[in-house]
Amino acid sequence: MASNTAAAKATPETGFSSKQGLSDLLQLHLSCAMVRCARAAPPCLSVPMDLSTSIPILAQYTKWTQTLAGLEVLHSLLGVVRAPLMTTLMQVASRFLLVWAIVDVFPFLALSPFYSSMLIAWSVTEIIRYSFFALSLSGYQPKFLTWLRYNTFFVLYPIGIFSECTLIWFATEPAGHINELYKWALYAILAIYVPGSYVLYTYMMSQRRKVMRNLKAQGQKAQ
């Protein structure tokens, strides 16, 4: 693993803080990144043989994997990473909503094709993202992974967001059978989901512009 200095001097676009004295926290973030990357792969890569038994297992696996994302909010709050607290909180909250308040309460939604498309979008995104984070903290940034990190979201984010919104919509009617407030809370969430997604999407676009500009400059210097 690279020295603490190498980790502290990570370039701004990686999203990691350059503060001194954070080596232990950076190691923690690296460990979490590697664990979440490893746990994101199975839902994306495995092919279930028996839906009646594999889907419930997959749903539980996904629920606890995404619950680990709560550490990202803590890392942002402590300054371990430079990711804005609000955008991190929004993204983590949306994952918590889907795995705890939607699919965990209404397990039949895990059989929806939109649940599958959501998991594919999440899994591919996280495999790329956490591989990028882990290697960046180790002082190594392969250009192909940087390109994937800041370009695949153009396709994966819309797929994930549309799938998430559809699952929330499907949950509104059964939620009304539990409590009318539950149903209307989901309607309210849907009303703010698109504006919230726009914030996340435009944030990634702004990050992409910075990173792609830097990659282009590095390529010109190398010539």
Catalytic residues: 157, 164
Q: What is the distance between the alpha carbons of residues 198 and 184, in angstroms, rounded to a whole number? A: 22
For residue 93, how many other CB atoms are within 10 A of its CB? Answer: 15
Token digits for 204? 């990634």
Q: What are 79's two structure tokens? A: 């300054």
Identify the DSSP state of 109: G
> At a CB cut-off of 8 Å and minimum separation 6, what does 104 contact?
59, 63
Query: What residues contact 113, with CB distance under 8 A and at least 6 apart?
Result: none
Total Cβ atoms within 10 A of residue 171: 22
d(CA 129, CA 114): 22
3-state secondary structure of 126: helix
DSSP 110: G
Q: What three-state secondary structure class fits 10? A: coil
Instruction: Identify which of 146, 161, 153, 152 has the alpha carbon closest to the alpha carbon of residue 197.
Output: 161
Coil/strand/helix, residue 203: helix
